[in-house]
């Protein structure tokens, strides 16, 4: 049996509930396994479609095939390649208060040794942090490339406030029969995690690089096994807690994204006033780490 290519992609951007959606959909659809994100369309495209197909189970059993891939959202290369390889695929975007989301993304990247900088330095030196917050700009490009009818913009706040209604809407869009979330799945939406700086940045950075090397060579199961073992503690966590982001830095980010937010309000016909001011507690902005 030829392994099917995805009929849908959840493109994020990062830190918008994609881990939770992957957990929920992995039981009802066909997703890459054991690797959650193949990074095929933005990093590994030169490895070929057969390499990509190999990430999916052989037996589809009539379920939709998809990928949860938040790094694709701000990648023009990924967008154009998806349109070329799977032109009828459906795209789901998820939008979250951009300042909260950037703070959360920074902490994940720092915790995994992906970046060496403090938050202010990272804003200047890591293009993904800011670029992935240009919601209206990239949404318009996804709609232009795939067609408006194939792109579903959704809101992270809706996912948190009513996860059942959210997944009903998503299921209808990707032609998946509606399903009832279990109490454990609903509870996980409201879970949180406390990340810290790595105990040893260089050791964590090397471990992340080695994991990427193994995954590129389809040794995903080995990486997954290490993540589930006590060895994980050697590379993740153990360092100092993250400090709060200076209010003046947050203010500048709110000002920076105001135009994007207002354009998104117009596109979706929704009020995102809370995304344009510092009324939300900055210390609680990372309460959801899904």
Beta-carbon contacts of 154 under 8 Å, excluding residues fewer than 6 positions away, are 92, 93, 94, 95, 166, 169, 170
When the pLDDT of each residue in the chain is averaged and rounded to a whole number, the result is 87
Query: What percentage of the chain reaches a pLDDT higher than 70?
Result: 81
Question: Which among 9, 119, 8, 136 has a CA at the least distance from the CA of 71?
Answer: 9
* CATH number among 3.20.20.70, 3.40.50.2300, 3.90.1150.10, 3.40.50.300, domain 8-195+242-284: 3.40.50.300
3-state secondary structure of 154: strand
Of 28-37, 39-48, 136-145, the range with the lowest mean pLDDT is 28-37
Q: What's the distance, Cα to Cα, between the start and end of the chain in Å?
A: 34
| Mean pLDDT within 184-210 | 72
H/E run at residue 136: helix 135-146
Question: Which among 137, 67, 132, 142 has a CA at the least distance from the CA of 103?
Answer: 132
pTM, rounded to two decimals: 0.87
H/E run at residue 151: strand 151-155
Cβ-count burial 153-170 (b if 16+ within 10 Å, e if not)? bbbbbbbbeebeebbbbb
- Measure Cα distances from 274 to 18, 93, 97 in Å: 22, 19, 8
Of 10-14, 45-49, 72-76, 235-239, the range with the lowest mean pLDDT is 235-239
- Let me know: does 89 contact 6? Beta carbons within 8 Å: yes
Q: Is 218 left (phi over 0), alpha (psi -120 to 50) or beta?
A: left
100 by Cβ neighbours in 10 Å (0-12 / 13-18 / 19+) ranks as: buried
The domain segmentation of the chain, as residue ranges, is 8-195+242-284
pLDDT higher for 1 or 159? 159
Task: Specify the pLDDT at position 271.
Answer: 97
pLDDT at 44 over 90: yes
- Let me know: does 77 contact 21? Beta carbons within 8 Å: no
Task: Specify the pLDDT at position 227.
Answer: 65
Q: Check the CA dihedral 285-13-5-152 and report its sign.
A: positive
For the chain, how many residues are written?
Answer: 290
pLDDT at 140 over 50: yes
Task: Specify the pLDDT at position 280.
Answer: 45
Task: Specify the pLDDT at position 234.
Answer: 59
Round to whole Å and give the CA distance between 79 and 91.
Answer: 10
């Amino acid at each position: 049996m030829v392994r099917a290519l995805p009929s849908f992609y959840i493109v994020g951007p990062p830190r918008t509930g994609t881990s939770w959606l992957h957990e929920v959909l992995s039981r009802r659809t066909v997703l890459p396994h054991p690797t959650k994100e193949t990074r095929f369309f933005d990093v590994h495209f030169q490895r070929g479609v057969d390499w990509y197909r190999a990430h999916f189970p052989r037996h589809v059993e009539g379920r939709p095939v998809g990928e949860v891939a938040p790094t694709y959202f701000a990648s023009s290369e990924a967008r154009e390649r998806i349109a070329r390889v799977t032109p009828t695929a459906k795209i789901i975007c998820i939008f979250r208060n951009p300042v909260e989301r950037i703070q959360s993304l920074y902490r994940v990247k720092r915790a995994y040794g992906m970046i060496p900088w403090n938050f202010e330095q990272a804003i200047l030196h890591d293009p993904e942090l800011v670029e992935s917050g240009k919601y209206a700009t990239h949404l318009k490009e996804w709609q232009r490339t795939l067609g408006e009818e194939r792109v579903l913009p959704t809101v992270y706040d809706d996912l948190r406030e009513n996860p059942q209604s959210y997944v009903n809407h998503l299921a209808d869009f990707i032609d998946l029969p509606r399903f009832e979330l279990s109490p454990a799945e609903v509870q996980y939406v409201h879970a949180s995690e406390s990340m810290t700086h790595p105990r040893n940045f260089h050791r964590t950075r090397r471990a992340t690089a080695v994991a990427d090397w193994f995954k590129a060579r389809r040794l995903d199961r080995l990486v997954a096994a290490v993540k589930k073992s006590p060895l994980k503690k050697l590379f993740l966590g153990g360092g100092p807690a993250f400090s709060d982001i200076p209010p003046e830095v947050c203010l500048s980010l709110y000002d920076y994204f105001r135009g994007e937010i207002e354009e998104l309000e117009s596109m979706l016909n929704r009020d995102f006033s809370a995304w344009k001011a510092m009324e939300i507690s900055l210390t609680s902005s990372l309460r959801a780490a899904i």
